[in-house]
Structure 1
């Protein structure tokens, strides 16, 4: 019995001998992981509130041109106004000529800069429209391109029930429209060896979004494309930046009231233009910035804690958009009854 007792003690001693270094190794890994996350968080705070972004003058002096797609409303309109206020001439591209004319007139009167307009439907994807865009831009010193044109679903919808035309329009506008507009403008920037290509993205492209599957996929595409393009164009002194956002009050989001998480277009664009070259909440993601402070904190938390656990977050995201869909359907039903 005594021999068995001593054998047991020896076994426990051997176990402790191996458990000690193993425990220490895991503790060290944990400390390193936590330290990296703390550093990432403070890097985000510094990027948002302390370090200045790249001055827009690096990409072109006052009097050069900024091309803004999806320019007649919301965020696109605000980009046009704020860039005009900084002395850039503005080339407005959107679908409705009357809205473009009104905005162009306001910009000229208020900011005393030149404007040009081009009415084109990005969903139509017409070669003639992009040829007109390229021809007009060829005679201009374009220093900034704002790829703002975009389309989401009318309401959250299961992919299997997504109308084919809606699905086609989202991909055509968000993906092909952005690519073709960039391809029309970038060659001039390459010749001049300077420029800024800024493309609007969405948190829907950061994490998979059930009931917005097509839109989510289109925005994820823009993330990879922008990162790749930034590497291609760096040698030509062209800065490419994808701008991530959560909700902003606009016709597309169907939200009218601002809050800590939902700025208006003026607040959002001011943040975007002041954080060029900074990552904000998009720590470690190439050519990407989440400039608005609350969106940045959310994005940082998503990629830090939720991203590695996508499969656990998906049901939460799915339920949220399923509830939004139910509310939208109830509203449509009420409106239909009123119309009878």
Structure 2
């Protein structure tokens, strides 16, 4: 009897280990070997891509690299001058390809019906092949939820959640009618790992995970591919990190990898309609999910301690700057 039980336990353990080995192998193939779906599947050259939060960082790179691949670009952001400069840069850089651009100045924190009406009027009749839901907002610094300014809380939800939903609801019907399209929505490790002191931002990104996965199942029969793109830190104004490293790519390299790995899950093994495409982020995601877990007290405690430290440094910096201003 004891021998039988030992054999059963050994068999179960062996199957568990084999499953992890297979998962790791799939992650490595996805991150380093296999190429993604060609963007041509979603629209011919000369069709349109829409990028929100397009004036800086990751959004700007999406716009430039999609134009390089032959898509006309609709640029949406809140700063008119930056949009005009980027549109001119794209048209000059790809003049030989006759790339067209359209711009829409829009502050997503305001959630104005008239802005969304303008967007609908702008894109109606366009063959939109790609939508990049990139616009996003985080906290100015890590802050306990009970101390979060009301306006900051409202702005994060208006930008990350409501803005993404409303833009997608304008664009997705045309894609479904044409039977093709790609919707990329920027996720975050903040949505993967509950993040104390960034509770509202973390919750907004977790919402996008659930919404995007559900939307993927709804739109798949209509030929529209939905993908939530999870990232760790990228050098940007939002992250306040300027120097790239192995774990923190610059926007150019991150976007290049993302567009090359469409349809590949990377480190997000087993999560439908989700990808963690950048190699170091993908390995981190796989390891966290496999060995640590993302919702337990260990991960939560480490995340809390890290953001408490960041908050202390930010408050000290504020104090120094206030003294200098006197």
* TM-score using structure 1 length: 0.94
Deviates more, 1:303-312 or 1:36-45: 303-312
Distance 1:232 1:144 in 2: 17
Gaps spanning 5+ residues in structure 1: where?
Answer: 1-17
Distance 1:152 1:309 in 2: 21
Partner of 2:75: 92
1:75 aligns with 2:61: no
Partner of 1:279: 265
Distance 2:164 2:30 in 1: 27
The aligned runs of 1:124-135 (5 Å cut-off) are 124-135=110-121
> Among residues 167, 178, 182, which one is paired with 2:168 in the alignment?
182
Q: CA deviation at 1:308?
A: 6.3
State the SS of the aligned residue for 2:293.
helix
State the SS of the aligned residue for 1:256.
coil
Partner of 1:28: 11
Q: CA deviation at 1:26?
A: 1.7
State the SS of the aligned residue for 2:277.
coil
State the SS of the aligned residue for 1:68.
strand
Partner of 2:93: 110
Distance 2:202 2:9 in 1: 37
Greater relative contact order, per chain length (Cα 8 Å cut-off, separation 6+): 2
Partner of 2:192: 206
**Structure 1 residues 127-162: Cα deviation after superposition (integer angstroms, max 9, x where no partner):** 110111111111211100000000000000001101
Given that 1:207 and 1:310 are in contact with CA atoms closer than 8 Å, whether structure 2 keeps it comes out as no
Given that 2:192 and 2:294 are in contact with CA atoms closer than 8 Å, whether structure 1 keeps it comes out as no
> Among residues 126, 133, 136, which one is paired with 1:150 in the alignment?
136
Distance 1:20 1:210 in 2: 48
Q: CA deviation at 1:20?
A: 2.1
Distance 2:230 2:301 in 1: 23
Distance 1:275 1:46 in 2: 11
Distance 1:199 1:282 in 2: 15
Partner of 2:283: 297
Moved over 4 A (4+): none
**Max radius of gyration: which structure?**
1
Q: CA deviation at 1:312?
A: 2.0
1:47 aligns with 2:30: yes
Partner of 2:315: 329
1:62 aligns with 2:48: no
1:192 aligns with 2:178: yes
Q: CA deviation at 1:23?
A: 2.1
* TM-score using structure 2 length: 0.98
Gaps spanning 5+ residues in structure 2: where?
Answer: none
State the SS of the aligned residue for 1:123.
helix
Given that 1:123 and 1:172 are in contact with CA atoms closer than 8 Å, whether structure 2 keeps it comes out as yes
Partner of 1:12: none
